Amino acid sequence: MMYERVTSALGNRPKEIGHPEMRKRQHDFYSELPTDSVAIITNNPSGIRSADVQHRHRFNSYLHYLTGWSEEDGVAVFHQSAGDWKCRLYVRPRDVKMETWTGRRPGLEGALSGWPVDETVSRGDITDNLSKLLDGVENVYHIHGLDGNVDEIVDSVLHEKPIDPRAILDEMRVLKSGSEVELMQYAADLAAYAHVEAMRECKSGMGEWHMQSIIEGCFLFHESEWSYPSIVGSGDNATILHYNENNDIMKDGDLVLIDAGCEIDGYASDITRTFPINGKFTDAQRTIYELVLKAQLAGIEACQAGSPWSAMHDATSRVLAQGLIDLGILDCTFEESLGDDFDGLYRQFFMHGTGHFLGLDVHDVGGGRQGDDKPERVLTPGMVLTIEPGLYFGAWREDIDINPKWAGIGVRIEDDILITESGPVVLTAKCPKEITEIEALVGSN
Ligand SMILES: [Mn+2]
């Protein structure tokens, strides 16, 4: 079996987040809520794929974070009763007839005994039950737009807008615990090994979808799934940032860029590797690859506890801007290339950010720059972020004028980084990125 090598390299899968840790999260949440408040956390809606076929449902990350509950229609409500905080979960009751069609349900008793919650109420009773609970409460926390029924209940009781609980929960989620890091390390390992299997199998003439099937098959084989739609872009397709048609034949002499990651107990990994389809970089490809790798290593080095969020983007940008000038791709000064606020000429070829937080969401909550009204974040031990600079010279782009030898080259290199007191830890280190390693691996099966 193709994935045995991955299975044995992975070792034991870490346990899912336990109830004591979720109880601690609930208590941390309570401690940030004013007296006389109720906080409502709903699940994500399901979406129609086609007629009566639904997209696979994925739980809401906040609901999962606080309760571990995933079943659709679940709503958690945090409220005070006789001075104590309680977590009340609205769930669908057992219904054998329905369950024979749509699957088993824990029901009210099952939810109470199997999840870290204090009370369960039938979802069918939510309108009356929740309205009563909200009546006269001063501070109601709720995220609008996920559960229409709950939105209606909240709107009918409140005279003003509910308070967004994300301001509190995002601060909690941005710092990862030891058990969260273990899960993220495993997700990083699985994705790293999956990328390696794709490199081994890669041959000219194969389809981009073959690479996708190897990687996503590896995820599924290990009881995981993609954390975002996989990108497999060969040749010019690599220069389109969110390309995911993955339906071209991979041509001899081209590069292929693969951006794919998986999810373990909801925690994401996010890896990009770029390699030559025939296993050997051309001089031009090698030159661009080496420059992006140099920028990526500088970005990782800038991931020091105490540094501002923007330090890593500044680091990658400076390397790329200088490199573009040295290669004659940009004919300007270093200052002109960078611009006043890193918005200069180099942005024609590196048009995205250097990284993002990673966690229960692939573009995780907490936002590094935090908008205009807040200072940017300071890197703190326990944060996990990606470092993913790239350079893109689309031959199809009419807006750029470059030497044809660079046309059709798109390179991005992305790793997942844990901030620690003693420096950055590369969670995705098992995925090779040095040129010699890549050339030895590609097509070696
Ligand atoms: Mn990413």
Q: Do both 192 and 116 map to the same domain?
A: no
User: Is 388 one of the annotated active-site residues of the chain?
Assistant: yes
In the set 270, 361, 364, 415, the catalytic residue is 270
What would the two tokens of residue 56 be?
Answer: 């696979």
| Each residue's pLDDT expressed in tens, for the chain with a length of 445 residues | 789 999 999 999 999 999 999 999 999 999 999 999 999 999 999 999 999 999 999 999 999 999 999 999 999 999 998 889 999 999 999 999 999 998 999 999 999 999 999 999 999 999 999 999 999 999 999 999 999 999 999 999 998 999 999 999 999 999 999 999 999 999 999 999 999 999 999 999 999 999 999 999 999 999 999 999 999 999 999 999 999 999 999 999 999 999 999 999 999 999 999 999 999 999 999 999 999 999 999 999 999 999 999 999 999 999 999 999 999 999 999 999 999 889 999 999 999 999 999 999 999 998 878 777 888 999 999 999 999 999 999 999 999 888 999 999 999 999 999 999 999 999 999 999 999 999 999 999 9
Q: Do both 269 and 348 map to the same domain?
A: yes
Is there a contact between 342 and 314 (Cβ–Cβ < 8 Å)? Answer: yes
Q: Do both 283 and 140 map to the same domain?
A: no
User: Is 64 one of the annotated active-site residues of the chain?
Assistant: no
CA–CA distances in Å: residue 297 to residues 247, 319, 427, 433, 442: 32, 10, 14, 11, 22
Q: Do both 83 and 122 map to the same domain?
A: yes
Q: Do both 324 and 435 map to the same domain?
A: yes
In the set 210, 267, 392, 416, the catalytic residue is 392
Other CB atoms within 10 Å distance of the CB of residue 229: 12
With tokens 């590094």, the residue in question is 368
Q: Do both 104 and 214 map to the same domain?
A: no
In this predicted structure, what is the pLDDT of residue 367? Answer: 84
What would the two tokens of residue 247 be?
Answer: 């339906």
User: Is 141 one of the annotated active-site residues of the chain?
Assistant: no
Reduce the DSSP state of residue 385 to 3 states and report it. strand
Instruction: Classify residue 36 by burial, with Cβ atoms within 10 Å: 0-12, 13-18, 19+.
Output: exposed
Q: Do both 419 and 433 map to the same domain?
A: yes
Quick check: is 164 in a domain? yes
Instruction: Classify residue 400 by burial, with Cβ atoms within 10 Å: 0-12, 13-18, 19+.
Output: middle
CA angle, residues 124, 130, 134, in degrees to nearest 5: 170
For residue 222, the CA-to-ligand 1 centroid distance in Å is: 22
Q: Do both 97 and 206 map to the same domain?
A: no
Q: Do both 63 and 206 map to the same domain?
A: no
CATH number at residue 117: 3.40.350.10
pTM over 0.85: yes
What would the two tokens of residue 312 be?
Answer: 């890593």
In this predicted structure, what is the pLDDT of residue 374? Answer: 84
- Parallel, antiparallel, or unpaired: how do β-strands 139-141 and 37-42 relate? parallel
pLDDT tens digit string along 122-159?
999 999 999 999 999 999 999 999 999 999 999 999 98
In the set 23, 286, 347, 352, the catalytic residue is 352
In this predicted structure, what is the pLDDT of residue 401? Answer: 86
With tokens 């993609």, the residue in question is 226
Quick check: is 11 in a domain? no
Half-sphere exposure for 328 (CA within 13 Å, toward CB): 6
Q: Do both 218 and 285 map to the same domain?
A: yes
In this predicted structure, what is the pLDDT of residue 2? Answer: 82
Query: 265, 285, 257: which is closest to 223 by C-alpha?
Result: 265
User: Is 21 one of the annotated active-site residues of the chain?
Assistant: no
For residue 443, the CA-to-ligand 1 centroid distance in Å is: 26
Query: 155, 138, 159: which is closest to 147 by C-alpha?
Result: 155
| Residue 344 to residue 330: CA distance in whole angstroms | 11
Q: In the structure, how many helices (H) and strands (E) does the chain have?
A: 14, 18
Q: Do both 75 and 115 map to the same domain?
A: yes
Among 131, 157, 172, give the residue marking a domain's end: 172
User: Is 90 one of the annotated active-site residues of the chain?
Assistant: no
User: Is 242 one of the annotated active-site residues of the chain?
Assistant: yes
| Residue 222 to residue 302: CA distance in whole angstroms | 33
CATH number at residue 346: 3.90.230.10
Say how many domains are in the chain.
2
Among 130, 153, 172, give the residue marking a domain's end: 172
Other CB atoms within 10 Å distance of the CB of residue 285: 22
What is the domain range of residue 419? Answer: 175-441
In this predicted structure, what is the pLDDT of residue 375? Answer: 87
